[in-house]
Structure 1
Amino acid sequence: MSVVTQSTPTPAHLLVYEAQQLPKLRSNYGESLDRSSIGWLKQTPADSPIDKMRKRYEEDGYIYVKGLLPVQDVLDVREAYFAHLAPTGILKPGTTARDGIFDTTQDPIVHNGNGSTSLPKGIERQKLLESAHVLPIYMEFVKHPKLRSFVREFMGWEEEVLAKRTLLRHNVPNGISTGVHYDRLFLRGGEAEFLTAWIPFGDCTAEGGGLMYWENSTDIGKAMEADFMKRAETFTKDERISAFNQNMSRLGHLSHDVSNFSRDTVANEKWAKLIPQDASMRWLISNFEAGDVVFHNPYLIHAAVKNEDREAKIRLAADIRFYEEGAPLDQRWMRGAWRADDGL
């Protein structure tokens, strides 16, 4: 006698989410992505069983946790950050720091965030970005008990270590933001693997400059890193661990054109053989909300969407990395807070 099994029905809110019309997206340069190459990130409620979370992370290279952090705590950081930057003229007159609406009469390049390719013009603006990384409210936030306890439980660690060099980045409409990369490129100085948490400070539409993750790309990222390191065998240690050595692009990223990057990579036999048969290779996005956190592994390839938010909202987010206590971590990232001239 055959046994009929029934799959668990998809919750109604996820059906609505997955049925949303996919927007037109692009990266810093190049053409818009075809909608057939875009998909939605899988959502995982914060109260999901931890074993199921771990399984999803192992399979997908990321876990997108909905509502992990208190919304007001997240928005308080957003407000403090833009109040700190308000003297630069970044905010639209008549709006609040908590809103974080860009003054579109300003030059986006003058008000770029703090990526290696997107420093703002003017030393005073750079100093404000540096000092934003040590604002008391932000320094307390990265110790948030809900965040830190989740990391320990999820990773099965007794204690976690936060890399002191965190990245608190804003992404103004039509500005330059993060190019295509995997995180290991920039954290090669320690043997231990690490966990990245990407935290949006405020709601961020799919068109609003949030991250997009290249589906099923972990094995490609690992192979690319192994290839880079093999070609760097004759380098000094400092050269070998640099994201800016002669084997790398001038700016450390793999590309700033998501459409061309994915097309060329899939067409390259060296990388294409790593793609499982019938695997989808879409760029995964979301309409992020305050309180959400995406955790991803060191090799999953990702980039920022060009911010084309209809309300000119500035995307603000943090990239923070965790190691297990006692693991051989990248000591370069333990020297202190981000600085524009730290060479990393």
Structure 2
Amino acid sequence: MAAVEQAPQPAHELVYEPDQLPKLRSNYGDYLDSASVGWMKETPINTSLDEMRRRFDEDGYIFVKGVMPREVVLDMREAYFEHLAPTGILKPGTSPREGIFDTTADPVAHNGVGGRDLPEDLERQRKLTSAHSLPFYLAFLEHPKLRTFVQEFMGWKKDVLVKRTLLRHNVPNGYSTGIHYDRIFLRAGEADFLTAWVPIGDCTASGGGLMYLENSTTIGQAMETDFTRRAATFSKQERISGFNQNMARDGQLSHNASELHRELANGKWDNAPVIPQRRWLVGDYQAGDVVFHNPYMLHGAVKNDDPEARIRLSTDLRFYELGAPLDERWMQSVWHPEDGL
């Protein structure tokens, strides 16, 4: 009788020696120590919806494997880097589908995180902006596997994807997205929303993907309560801004994951529960995977230290239920550098 193949034990359930954990850092500060790093729980796509919802409510996220067809995602990656190839971002002799960075180029000149950290070259800015309106990307956003999953997982008859999506790349040693929770930037709508972070291509744990602060939903809620209290005398426009005087210059909570981790463990935020053992959780993302998280979970991008110089490409999507009071500012247009959001 043939032996029954055993499924591998999930990464988050294994016990790792410190040197077996990925080395992670953010834009500034030291590498995170091994005690503050862990693996995200992986959720197979065939997991029951009830179990998925339980994990989401308990953890603040679900890391779902194989939501979208792998080849569809890789086709999207190829199309994006064909679009950006004239900027000199790719290593000569490599294919756009691989998305390998030309390490002889200046990483800062090829920033792709958007907002206040764009490359100075106007043609590169135009390439980043126009990618959000190209047919290959708009079709990708409407893929039935993704949209059907969102509706079924949330129990909605119909979902609404906000028009302002964030298509971003992260080159090795370049500037990455700081630590934040999403409600900071979508305060004008009363309804909660679902964020989908979609890696467009394979991305190792140290390759520039997202890291999530374990059990941090209550921290985000406490921070938002504190920011709201301190904004009581602001005008409405100031209160809903992610860049008001209560916030950092770019709306982020920090660009130093190690420092923020220490501050939270020492109880800097009075309303947030102090849990010293809380870790930054990461995953080895593969094309087709999607991470869904709630509006208050703290997260940010890892500095891209991919040994093969792969560029991390991803998109951030926010979904509401049709008819819910959403943040209308995010429905006005696709992302552009001057939109103020």
TM range (shorter): over 0.9
- Identify which of 287, 290, 311 aligns with 1:290: 287
Stretches of 4+ moved more than 3 A in 1? 15-20, 269-273
Single out whichever of 300-309 and 15-24 deviates more from structure 2.
15-24
Task: State the match for 1:216 in structure 2.
Answer: 215
Question: Which runs of structure 2 are paired with 1:1-344 in the superposition (5 Å)?
Answer: 11-14=7-10, 18=14, 21-268=20-267, 270-271=269-270, 274-275=273-274, 280-344=277-341
* In structure 1, C-alpha distance between the alignment counterparts of 2:241 and 2:266, rounded to whole Å: 28
1:218-271 Cα distance to aligned partner (Å, 9 max, x none):
001001001101111111111100010011111110000000011112212544
CA contact (8 A) 1:207 1:307 kept: yes
Deviates more, 1:112-121 or 1:240-249: 112-121
Q: 1:269 to 1:209 in 2, by over 3 A?
A: closer
Q: Kindly indicate whether the alpha-carbon contact (under 8 Å) linking 1:165 and 1:333 is maintained by their aligned counterparts in 2.
A: yes
Q: CA 1:78–1:19 in 2, change beyond 3 Å: closer, same or farther? A: farther
For the residues of structure 2 that align with 1:15 and 1:245, how far apart are their CA atoms?
40
TM-score by length of 2: 0.95
RMSD: 1.6
Conservation of the 8 A alpha-carbon contact between 2:164 and 2:334:
yes
Tell me how far apart the structure 2 counterparts of residues 63 and 16 of structure 1 sit (CA, whole Å): 13
Residues 196-239 of structure 1 show CA distances to partners (whole Å, capped at 9, x for unaligned) of: 00000000011100000000100010010011011111111111
Give, in angstroms, the shift of residue 12 of structure 1.
2.3
Per the TM alignment, residue 116 of structure 1 is displaced from its structure 2 partner at its CA by: 2.3
Distance 2:58 2:116 in 1: 32
- Kindly provide the amino acid, as one letter, of the partner of residue 57 in structure 1: F
| Whole-Å separation in 1 of the counterparts to 2:7 and 2:297 | 27
Identity across matched positions, percent: 62
Cα offset, 1:11, TM superposition? 4.5
**Secondary structure at 1:188 match in 2:** coil
Distance, in Å, in 2 between the alignment partners of 1:270 and 1:248 is: 14
Letter in 2 for 1:74: V
Q: Which whole-Å CA distance do the structure 2 matches of 1:167 and 1:122 have between them?
A: 20
- Output the amino acid matched with 2:110: H
TM-superposed CA distance for 1:275, in Å, is: 4.1
- 1:81/1:334 CA distance change after superposition, 3 Å: same
1:284-304 deviation line (CA, Å, top 9, x unaligned):
001100000000000000010
Identify unmatched segments of 5+ residues in structure 1: 1-9
Structure 2, unpaired ranges of 5+: 1-5
Cα distance in 1 between the residues matched to 2:254 and 2:50: 35
User: In 1, are the aligned partners of 2:199 and 2:286 still within 8 Å (CA)?
Assistant: yes
Cα drift, residue 115 of structure 1: 2.8
Q: Displacement, 1:15?
A: 5.3
Question: Match of 1:3?
Answer: none
Count of residue pairs brought into register by the alignment:
333
What is the rounded CA distance, in whole Å, between the counterparts of 1:42 and 1:271 in structure 2? 29
Equivalent position of 2:3 in the other structure? none
